[in-house]
Amino acid sequence: MNYHEFLKRKYRFGLFILLSLIAFILISISIGSYHLPFHEILAGNPVIMNIRLPRIITAILVGASLAVSGAVMQCVLRNYLASPFTLGISQGAAFGAAFAIIYLGVGIMHRTGEGITILNPYIISLFAFFGSLISVFVILLLSKLRTLSPESMILAGVAMASLFQASTMLMQYFAENEVLIASVVFWTFGDVGRTVWMEISIIFVAFVFSLIYFFYRRIDYNTLLSGDEVALSLGVDVKRIRLEGMLVSSFLTSVCVSFTGIIGFVGLVAPHVVRIIIGGDYRFLILISTLVGALLLLLADTIGRMIISPVVIPVGIVTAFIGAPTFIYLLMRGEVR
């Protein structure tokens, strides 16, 4: 075997995931409580353009973003348990959203026949974004002030996550009426079904820029795997790469979470799946993780739409149900160290 053949296997896996994703998009687009014949799907029926397509594209973009963020966090923090969810970034976003809903009254929702609609999603998203940034900056600040080791940074994230959860609960406890509480709870369910085209384009832009940056740094991430000293001796500015990696991945996560709520496990599991199949080379891990993350989230959302149709289960709940056992399985196999 030569090196090119060795790489070809990785390309082949990437291609396989890409084709599966495309196939799944087609399946997902034709499934729904409102039955549409195939020619109407192709003709761009309003149900497709306004409901199913935004939903599918959001699932793909958010799945890809969370997965690539998780992959990068796992590398720069040298901890395979790192992910947007385990670092408290998602919980920070929920805290911000809860604050906006309860105290600023911007997000009062009203019940319609089919579910709950958010009145002013942008202010909530903005506060969710700020909330997630608090987590990020506390972790980064701690690492700067106390020169925290990457391993301890994840523990700081875990602490931040529970602090934010407690704060959110406290706000809910003292909230004036139950509609506010319901709105907060509803918001925190990760859901890819409430984004509109404008929000999708924001996520898209954040995703594309982050992905280009991560891809540019792919070889540096490989050097980090060999330890800081080796990376330094190879001419890599380890501190800068670590800081930038954390900032960009947290930023991307924040954008996603602020529009969709908390979606756990994709960022944790997707990079591991790729690592098990094609190894830890970040030249491939970055791009293929995005594909696997997109596929996972789309799969989870389709399951959520189908399982007790016409009721749609928010994708955040489905990913937790699929993700947790998967992760435990990976732990048992000894793949996650």
Partner 1 sequence: MMIIENLNFAYNSRNVLKNITFRVDSGDMFFILGPNGSGKTTLLKCISGVLKSSGNVWICGKELRNLSRIEIARKVAYVPQRVEICNLSVFDAILLGRRPYIRWGVGEEDIEIVKRIIRTFELDEFAFRSLTELSGGELQKVMIARAMAQEPNILLLDEPTNNLDLRNQIEVMNRVRRVVKEKGISAIITMHDLNIASIYADRIVMVKDGEIVDEGGVEVLTPRSIKEVYGVDVEVSNHNGVPVILPRFRSEEPINIK
105 interacts with partner 1 by CB under 8 A: no
Please tell me whether residue 183 adopts helix, strand or coil conformation: helix
DSSP letters for 241-301: HHHHHHHHHHHHHHHHHHHH-B--SHHHHHHHHHHHHH-S-HHHHHHHHHHHHHHHHHHHH
Residue 28 tokens, joined: 């997902």
33 interacts with partner 1 by CB under 8 A: no
From the CB of 267, what's the least distance to partner 1, in Å?
Answer: 18
Residues 127-166 that bind partner 1 (CB under 8 A): none
225 interacts with partner 1 by CB under 8 A: yes
Among the candidate windows 87-95, 214-222, 290-298, 310-318, which touches partner 1 by CB under 8 A? Answer: 214-222
253 interacts with partner 1 by CB under 8 A: no
301 interacts with partner 1 by CB under 8 A: no
From the CB of 272, what's the least distance to partner 1, in Å?
Answer: 11
Q: Identify residue 46 by its one-letter amino acid code.
A: P
Q: Which of 141, 232, 307, 328 binds partner 1 (CB under 8 A)?
A: 232
333 interacts with partner 1 by CB under 8 A: no
Q: Which of 33, 201, 226, 309 binds partner 1 (CB under 8 A)?
A: 226
Among the candidate windows 58-66, 87-95, 140-148, 229-237, which touches partner 1 by CB under 8 A? Answer: 229-237
Count of positions (residues) in the chain = 337
Using alpha carbons, select from 200, 210, 243, 190 the residue that is nearest to residue 77.
243
Cα–Cα separations (whole angstroms), residue 183 to 63, 87, 187 = 24, 24, 6
280 interacts with partner 1 by CB under 8 A: yes
Among the candidate windows 27-35, 89-97, 278-286, 317-325, which touches partner 1 by CB under 8 A? Answer: 278-286
> 168 with 94: CB under 8 angstroms?
yes
* Sheet strands (E) in the chain: 109-111, 116-118
3 interacts with partner 1 by CB under 8 A: yes
In b/e form, how buried is each residue of 121-146, taking b as 16+ CB within 10 angstroms? bebbbebbbbbbbbbbebbbebbeee
Between 9 and 144, name the residue whose CB sits nearer to partner 1: 9
Please tell me whether residue 88 adopts helix, strand or coil conformation: coil
281 interacts with partner 1 by CB under 8 A: yes
From the CB of 249, what's the least distance to partner 1, in Å?
Answer: 19
For partner 1, the binding residues (CB under 8 A) are 1, 3, 6, 216, 219-220, 222-223, 225-227, 229-230, 232-237, 275, 279-281, 283
